[in-house]
Amino acid sequence: MRFKTVIGLEIHVQLSTKTKAFCNCSADVFELPPNTAVCPVCTGQPGALPIVNQTMIDYAIKLALALNCKVNEYSRFDRKNYFYPDLPKGYQISQYFYPLAIGGHLDIDVEGTTKRVRIRRLHLEEDAGKLLHEGDSITQARFSLVDMNRCGIPLVEIVTEPDLSSPKEARIFTEKLRSILRYLKISTGDMEKGALRCDANISVLDLEKGVSSNRVEVKNMNSFRFIEKALEYEEQRIINTLLKGENVEKETRGWDLSTKTTVSMRGKEEESDYRYFPEPDIPPILVNRERIEMLRASLPELPDQKKQRFVQMYGLPDYDAMVLTADETVADFFESCVRLTGKSKEVSNWIMTEMLREMKEFNDEQLRIKPEHIAELIKLVDVGEISIKTAKEIFPEMFKTGKMPSQIVQERGLKQLSDERAIMEIAKKIIEENPSVVNQYKAGKTNVLSFFVGQVMKQTRGTANPKLVNEVLRRLLEE
């Protein structure tokens, strides 16, 4: 291995506060018509003064604590100056010199081993507006248009140390972060809607020559899959450049979905370009120990803790526990099912395979099934009313319609045939009709049993109890 990849992330999270960071405008603007959630403060009118949203600070502190950061009792806002039409004030209120929190870490699971990723800092800032460019596919705009609804929505920026060593790890990290955001209920973490935005810095170390490439910043990766894809592309592009003995430019590149490549956007700006200076209109943020400890005490059980508890309490393998606790709704669902059935591993199997697959397919839909459905399904299999195969077969319908499994079994006539006499009748007939196969069996070729089993299953449309079918057939053939 000649090359070693180094990745660090800068992630922006939109906080789901009711109002914006420094004014009383609604922060829930996703479905609002353009420029309807704006006021003199968030559009930067002369003389308007910001007032800090305290919920935003509490949310950010909770996240900092969940990421094991040190929360600073003193932090402050700064102005980051730049001109762009989506930023009416001409500067963004951010935190540069004194961030809210520093020095944390988040553990991620990479193919069964735990990897610690250090967090350098976590700070607050405000979002900018949105530009719709000429020819935009939705508005068919003839000019570039500015929507300021998003101006002033609170953001948390999380900067990691360059501890990630593959595109896959970058994706796992971001997914884990989203899981925590959702547990904390401080953000939707929705990448497609821009509530979670990930910029990645990537460089490649040439171990043979002992030198590192410049680092490239990659933007515009608006899904977890694209984080991995874009970084895989960029990693390879850097390696190819190094192999050609050429210089890797220090620049910002964007993921282009249509070509599945990264394209150069601009040379990398330097910090001094922003002329940061303290925000004069907002007093420092002072958070005392009591407030921090109160917020710490209010944290819910987080994914890692829940995972540990699932392993201990339910005797689940690490992997099951990790998958089940990634989403709190799924974790709660699991626990309710276990309460009803007392069968943790069986419940886990149903949820991890069938249920998560259906949930993925019907993304975002309200769950129609309840723990009672899984409990009944397990019971029907246990008492032999239906086979595992049938249970799997009816799962999608149960999931989509919310019908109880017993009802589906009845409607579709899938009740398992466990009547020994009925099976015997069918088996006898098949044996009579296939004397040559019977002779093979009697001559010692006992694996032809599966032929008979198959025939019985076919005649009973797969409902015959397989264990019973085997028993009956063996008995008849050995008579």
Which segment (25-33, 273-281, 311-319, 335-343) binds Zn ion by CB under 5 A? 25-33
- Are 316 and 308 contacting, i.e. CB atoms less than 8 angstroms apart? no
Closest CA to 386 of 416, 407, 341: 416
Structure tokens at 65: 């604590």
- Are 448 and 439 contacting, i.e. CB atoms less than 8 angstroms apart? no
Least separation, in Å, of the C-beta of 255 and ligand ADP?
A: 17
- 142 exposure class (CB count in 10 Å sphere: 0-12, 13-18, 19+): exposed
**With respect to ligand ADP, which residue has the nearer C-beta, 53 or 203?**
203
Tokens 């001559």 — which residue?
443
Which segment (39-47, 156-164, 188-196, 300-308) binds ligand ADP by CB under 6 A? 156-164
Q: Could you say which residues in the range 311-340 bind Zn ion, by CB under 5 A? A: none
Distance CA 115, CA 160 (A): 13
Which segment (26-34, 160-168, 187-195, 309-317) binds ligand ADP by CB under 6 A? 160-168
Kindly state whether residue 356 participates in binding ligand ADP, applying the rule CB under 6 A: no
Distance CA 54, CA 50 (A): 12
Angle at which helix 167-184 crosses helix 224-243, to 10 degrees, equals 150
Q: Could you say which residues in the range 29-88 bind ligand ADP, by CB under 6 A? A: none
Kindly state whether residue 13 participates in binding ligand ADP, applying the rule CB under 6 A: no
Kindly state whether residue 327 participates in binding ligand ADP, applying the rule CB under 6 A: no
- 78 exposure class (CB count in 10 Å sphere: 0-12, 13-18, 19+): buried
Least separation, in Å, of the C-beta of 201 and ligand ADP?
A: 3
Size of the site for Zn ion (CB under 5 A): 5
Backbone phi, then psi, for 189, in 5-degree steps? 65, 20
Structure tokens at 416: 């398992």
Least separation, in Å, of the C-beta of 118 and ligand ADP?
A: 9
Least separation, in Å, of the C-beta of 160 and ligand ADP?
A: 5
Structure tokens at 285: 């943020």
**With respect to Zn ion, which residue has the nearer C-beta, 42 or 128?**
42
Kindly state whether residue 203 participates in binding ligand ADP, applying the rule CB under 6 A: yes
Kindly state whether residue 29 participates in binding Zn ion, applying the rule CB under 5 A: no
Least separation, in Å, of the C-beta of 122 and ligand ADP?
A: 12
Which segment (8-16, 109-117, 138-146, 240-248) binds ligand ADP by CB under 6 A? 8-16
Single residue of 141, 159, 449, 476 touching ligand ADP by CB under 6 A: 159
Kindly state whether residue 21 participates in binding Zn ion, applying the rule CB under 5 A: no
Distance CA 2, CA 132 (A): 44
Single residue of 11, 13, 23, 200 touching Zn ion by CB under 5 A: 23
Single residue of 7, 15, 25, 287 touching Zn ion by CB under 5 A: 25
Q: Could you say which residues in the range 74-103 bind Zn ion, by CB under 5 A? A: none
**With respect to Zn ion, which residue has the nearer C-beta, 7 or 23?**
23
Structure tokens at 471: 């028993």
- Are 21 and 53 contacting, i.e. CB atoms less than 8 angstroms apart? yes
Kindly state whether residue 162 participates in binding ligand ADP, applying the rule CB under 6 A: yes
Least separation, in Å, of the C-beta of 249 and ligand ADP?
A: 14
Other beta carbons within 10 Å of 97: 11
Distance CA 270, CA 273 (A): 5
- Are 290 and 296 contacting, i.e. CB atoms less than 8 angstroms apart? no
Site string for ligand ADP, 104-143 (x = CB under 6 A): ----------------------------------------
Distance CA 313, CA 245 (A): 56
Kindly state whether residue 248 participates in binding ligand ADP, applying the rule CB under 6 A: no
Closest CA to 132 of 150, 116, 117: 150
Least separation, in Å, of the C-beta of 266 and ligand ADP?
A: 13
Interface contacts to ligand ADP, rule CB under 6 A: 6-10, 159-162, 201-203, 215, 271
Interface contacts to Zn ion, rule CB under 5 A: 23, 25, 39, 41-42
